Chain A
Amino acid sequence: KQEVTQIPAALSVPEGENLVLNCSFTDSAIYNLQWFRQDPGKGLTSLLLIQSSQREQTSGRLNASLDKSSGRSTLYIAASQPGDSATYLCAGAGNSGNTPLVFGKGTRLSVIA
C-alpha cells in the first residue's frame, strides 16, 4: 500500500529565499507524481506532474524532481514571494494510468515579506 510523507509539516521563510519541500513514498512502482498547491479552504491547483519516465519538470520558479529508486520527490521554489504562501501537497499515482492519487498531508509554507 502506497504511503506518502511530506517533510516539513510547516515552513516559514523570509521573502526571496530559495526553498525545498520534500516528499517520500513507500512504493517505487509509482506511475507519476503530482505536486499541488492549496490555499486555505480552497481546492487543489496542479503545479507540476512528473511521469515515471521523467526525472524532473520545471514551471517558472518551480522545479520538481522524481527519484523512484529512493522513493523521493522534491519541489524547489526559487526566490520565494509572499504570494507563494499556501499548503503544498504531493500525490503519487500507482502503476497504471488511473490508479487513484495517494496524498501526503502537505507542507504549510509561509513566506514573510
Chain B
Amino acid sequence: DAGVTQSPTHLIKTRGQQVTLRCSPKSGHDTVSWYQQALGQGPQFIFQYYEEEERQRGNFPDRFSGHQFPNYSSELNVNALLLGDSALYLCASSLPGPATEPYGYTFGSGTRLTVV
C-alpha cells in the first residue's frame, strides 16, 4: 500500500537547533500539507505545497519553512527550535482538487518531535 510515508518517526532536539522532517505522498497525489498536533489538541495547519510552491500557509512563524521536490515529496524545516515546538507533525497528501475524485486527505503516521 503506497500510503503517506514520514521520517523519522521520533526525534529529540535541543532548543535552538534546526530540524528537517520528510514526507512522501500517497501514490498519485501531488499536493502535500503539513500539520502540527500538540498533545490533547487537534492538528493545526502549517502550510501546503503544490507544484513545488507554497500555496497556502497557516498562522505559523517564518521559522517554519518547507520545500516540495519534483517527485512531490516534501520537507518541513523548523529553525531555532523552542520547547513549544514539541508536537506530532503530520503530513497529508491529496489531489489538487475535486475534479478527479471525491476529495480527501490521506495522512501519514507522523513524526514525534521532542525539544529539550
A binding-site residues for B, Cβ under 8 Å? 4, 31-32, 34, 36, 41-46, 49, 51, 89, 91, 93, 96-106
Contact = CB atoms under 8 A, between A and B. Distances in A.
Interface of B: 4, 6, 31, 33, 35, 40-45, 48, 50, 55-56, 58, 88, 90, 92, 94, 96-99, 102-110, 112
A98 B56 contact: yes
Contacts, number: 74
Contacts of A89: 42-43
A42 B109 contact: yes
Contacts of A97: 96-99, 103
Contact of A31 (B96, B103, B105): B103
Nearest to B97: A97
A105 B96 contact: no
Which 10 pairs from chain A and chain B are nearest by CB? A103-B42, A97-B97, A43-B109, A100-B45, A44-B107, A97-B98, A49-B104, A43-B110, A105-B42, A43-B107
A101 B55 contact: no
Contacts of B109: 42-43
B42 A104 contact: yes
Contacts of A34: 104-105
A99 B57 CA distance: 10
A104 B44 CA distance: 10
**Most chain B beta-carbon contacts within 10 A, residue among A42, A44, A49, A103:** A44
A90 to B, nearest CB: 9
